[in-house]
């Protein structure tokens, strides 16, 4: 790689968590036939073919931790090969092309500082655990951003992120170079803005990516301006599933593009971590807070009523209801942990990724940080409370608000996670907030089927209760 202009493809690989929160199994999804569910179909259309094309060695990418967890169980070898390909790049350049992602794909600007820290630290821990080195960058779910989120990224060692061009608070933006965003206390972070038109074409115009040679010469090369005084990078960002799933055979396009076509047009391939080593951000930019890449109304798509999805009256009460539930759960968590554990209960939650990643058993984790014997009932209660906090993080998975109606698997799952969190907290503390939660969820209704969130909540609480009865009989 030299000082030639360079192109970077970023793939955001992610799926909504479809597992039933009690069984951990994904229910059969008829639309994904002949496969049992969408994860499996997309695996065969996209994740695996991209491994076979060695694309994870050359593109910038992030894989959502919850998807990684599924992949690890479904096809360990494919997961290992993704990591191997990224590691080859890391060894070659001293910096990797993989990016971390906030753990539960939560819209971070809509969360408290404490929740941001948990999501970021769990996401980084997941990356470190799997790839064996620290990431340079972190993908923000839906590229949703505010200054506090960027500050938390920097505090945890993250050096860059990728945003949409309209998230810059600046009319004339030159996306062929990274920018620096200044933060309080002299901190700063690098932001790469993707090229909007090219990213849109890659995503929605299959004709543009039918031939890698033509893509390089006709679509990409004219976007570089030799009159610019700096070396230029152009970045196209999209969902990773585009390559092979949304558009068949595009894994082959990627491979040919990155190994042949770019080179023929005098264009290098690169990725942000490497690019910023050689071309550090020189210009400063301010960002527009509470904006994202898939809602042009800020982050309203996940919190209220905007034209991205019609009939979205259910979204605001849904978020408000879950926030109230979270607040109650946190009060119980904090007050009970204060009795039992000498340390900071929130530090304990931030570190819980060690259990999620099977680095420590819950018993060892609690013994290490709480100075308590796990055989005691207190140790057991701490374990339940931490598991409840995990469910409480899951219930803010952004997919629950992304679509047009409440009666879909994604919002229903968020309610199921909330029910689990309420139930586990009850088991640990003896205090039930079930009735309050039901009241808060009542205003959330599907405009399509009439299903309401409190009915879903009650269903899952009942299942948890029945489960408990079965367990105690054994
Ligand atoms: Zn919107």
Assess whether pLDDT exceeds 90 at residue 80.
Answer: yes
CA dist list (Å): 438 to 151, 233, 278, 295: 36, 51, 55, 30
pTM for the structure as a whole: 0.97
CA 295 to ligand 1 centroid distance, Å: 4
Give 3's pLDDT tier (boundaries 50, 70, 90).
Answer: low
The mean pLDDT of 314-321, rounded to a whole number, is 98
CA 289 to ligand 1 centroid distance, Å: 15
Q: Give me the percent of the chain exceeding a pLDDT of 70.
A: 98
Query: DSSP states of 321-384 as a string?
Result: HHHHHHHHHHHHHHHHHHHH-SS-HHHHHHTTHHHHTTSS-HHHHHHHHH---TTSHHHHHHHH
What local confidence, expressed as pLDDT, does residue 4 receive? 86
What local confidence, expressed as pLDDT, does residue 368 receive? 87
Find how far residue 291's CA is from the centre of its chain. Answer: 16
Q: Which residue has the higher pLDDT, 18 or 3?
A: 18
CA 92 to ligand 1 centroid distance, Å: 41
Q: Do residues 447 and 405 touch, judged by C-beta distance below 8 A?
A: yes
Q: Do residues 413 and 442 touch, judged by C-beta distance below 8 A?
A: no
What local confidence, expressed as pLDDT, does residue 308 receive? 97
Mean pLDDT estimate for the chain? 95
The mean pLDDT of 190-215, rounded to a whole number, is 95
Which one-letter DSSP state was computed for residue 234? Answer: E
Calpha distance 413→24 (Å, rounded): 12
The mean pLDDT of 288-295, rounded to a whole number, is 97
Three-class secondary structure of residue 275 per DSSP: helix
Q: Do residues 237 and 199 touch, judged by C-beta distance below 8 A?
A: yes
What local confidence, expressed as pLDDT, does residue 57 receive? 97
CA 301 to ligand 1 centroid distance, Å: 5
CA 278 to ligand 1 centroid distance, Å: 37
Of 23-32, 40-49, 98-107, 448-457, the poorest mean pLDDT is in 23-32
Residue 305, sorted as left (phi over 0), alpha (psi -120 to 50) or beta, turns out to be: beta
CA 42 to ligand 1 centroid distance, Å: 27
Judging by beta carbons within 10 Å of its beta carbon (0-12, 13-18, 19+), is residue 25 exposed, middle or buried?
exposed
pLDDT tens for each residue of 347-370: 999 999 999 999 999 989 998 888
CA 173 to ligand 1 centroid distance, Å: 23
CA 269, 272, 275 angle in degrees (round to 5)?
70
Find how far residue 424's CA is from the centre of its chain. Answer: 25
pLDDT tens for each residue of 248-278: 999 999 999 999 999 999 999 999 999 999 9
Q: Do residues 331 and 320 touch, judged by C-beta distance below 8 A?
A: no
Assess whether pLDDT exceeds 80 at residue 332.
Answer: yes
Calpha distance 151→407 (Å, rounded): 36
What local confidence, expressed as pLDDT, does residue 454 receive? 98
Calpha distance 457→298 (Å, rounded): 29
- Dihedral through CA 451, CA 454, CA 458, CA 464, nearest 10? 100
Which one-letter DSSP state was computed for residue 106? Answer: B
Assess whether pLDDT exceeds 90 at residue 386.
Answer: yes
CA 296 to ligand 1 centroid distance, Å: 5
The mean pLDDT of 99-117, rounded to a whole number, is 98
* CA atoms in the 13 A half-sphere facing the CB of 50: 32
The mean pLDDT of 118-124, rounded to a whole number, is 98
What local confidence, expressed as pLDDT, does residue 229 receive? 77
CA 316 to ligand 1 centroid distance, Å: 13
Q: Do residues 221 and 189 touch, judged by C-beta distance below 8 A?
A: no
What local confidence, expressed as pLDDT, does residue 356 receive? 96
CA 471 to ligand 1 centroid distance, Å: 45
Assess whether pLDDT exceeds 90 at residue 152.
Answer: yes
What local confidence, expressed as pLDDT, does residue 1 receive? 44
pLDDT tens for each residue of 35-45: 999 999 999 99
What local confidence, expressed as pLDDT, does residue 474 receive? 61
Assess whether pLDDT exceeds 60 at residue 140.
Answer: yes
Assess whether pLDDT exceeds 50 at residue 107.
Answer: yes
The answer to whether the peptide bond before residue 34 is cis (omega within 30 degrees of 0) is yes
What local confidence, expressed as pLDDT, does residue 142 receive? 98
CA 104 to ligand 1 centroid distance, Å: 21
């Amino acid at each position: 790689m030299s000082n030639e202009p360079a192109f970077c493809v970023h793939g955001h690989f992610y799926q909504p968590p479809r597992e039933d929160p009690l069984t951990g199994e994904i229910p059969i999804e008829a639309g994904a036939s002949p496969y049992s569910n969408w994860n499996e179909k997309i695996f065969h259309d996209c994740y695996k073919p991209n491994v076979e094309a060695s694309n994870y060695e050359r593109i910038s990418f992030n894989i959502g931790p919850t998807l990684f967890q599924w992949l690890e169980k479904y096809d360990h070898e494919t997961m290992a090969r993704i990591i191997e390909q990224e590691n080859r790049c890391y060894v070659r350049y001293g910096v990797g092309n993989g990016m971390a992602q906030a753990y539960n794909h939560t819209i971070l600007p809509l969360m408290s500082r404490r929740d941001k820290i948990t999501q970021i630290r769990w996401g980084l821990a997941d990356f470190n655990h799997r790839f064996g080195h620290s990431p340079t960058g972190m993908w923000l779910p839906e590229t949703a951003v505010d200054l506090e989120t960027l500050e938390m990224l920097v505090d945890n060692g993250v050096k860059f992120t990728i945003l949409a061009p309209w998230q810059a608070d600046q009319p004339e933006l030159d996306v062929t170079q990274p920018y620096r965003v200044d933060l309080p206390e002299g901190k700063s972070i690098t932001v790469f803005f993707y090229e909007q038109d090219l990213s849109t074409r890659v995503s929605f115009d299959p004709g543009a990516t039918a031939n890698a040679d033509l893509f390089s010469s006709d679509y990409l090369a004219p976007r570089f301006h030799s009159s610019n005084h700096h070396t230029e990078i152009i970045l196209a960002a999209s969902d990773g599933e585009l390559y092979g799933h949304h558009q068949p055979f595009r894994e082959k396009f990627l491979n040919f593009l990155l190994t042949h076509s770019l080179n023929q047009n005098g264009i290098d391939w690169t990725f942000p971590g490497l690019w910023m080593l050689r071309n550090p951000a020189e210009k400063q930019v301010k960002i527009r807070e509470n904006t994202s890449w898939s809602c042009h109304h800020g982050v309203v798509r996940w919190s209220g009523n905007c034209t991205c999805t019609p009939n979205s009256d259910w979204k605001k009460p849904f978020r408000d209801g879950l926030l109230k539930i979270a607040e109650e759960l946190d009060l119980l968590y904090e007050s009970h942990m204060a009795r039992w554990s000498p340390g900071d209960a929130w530090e304990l939650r931030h570190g819980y990724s060690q259990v999620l990643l099977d680095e420590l058993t819950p018993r060892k984790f609690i013994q290490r940080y709480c100075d308590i014997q796990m055989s005691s009932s207190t140790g057991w209660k701490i374990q339940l409370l931490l598991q409840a906090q995990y469910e409480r993080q899951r219930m803010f998975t952004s997919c629950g608000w992304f679509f047009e109606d409440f009666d879909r698997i994604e919002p229903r799952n968020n309610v199921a996670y909330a029910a689990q969190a309420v139930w586990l907290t009850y088991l640990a503390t003896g205090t039930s907030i079930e009735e309050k939660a039901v009241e808060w969820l009542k205003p959330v209704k599907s405009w399509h089927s009439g299903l309401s969130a409190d009915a879903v909540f009650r269903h899952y609480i009942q299942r948890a209760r029945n489960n408990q009865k079965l367990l105690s009989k054994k």
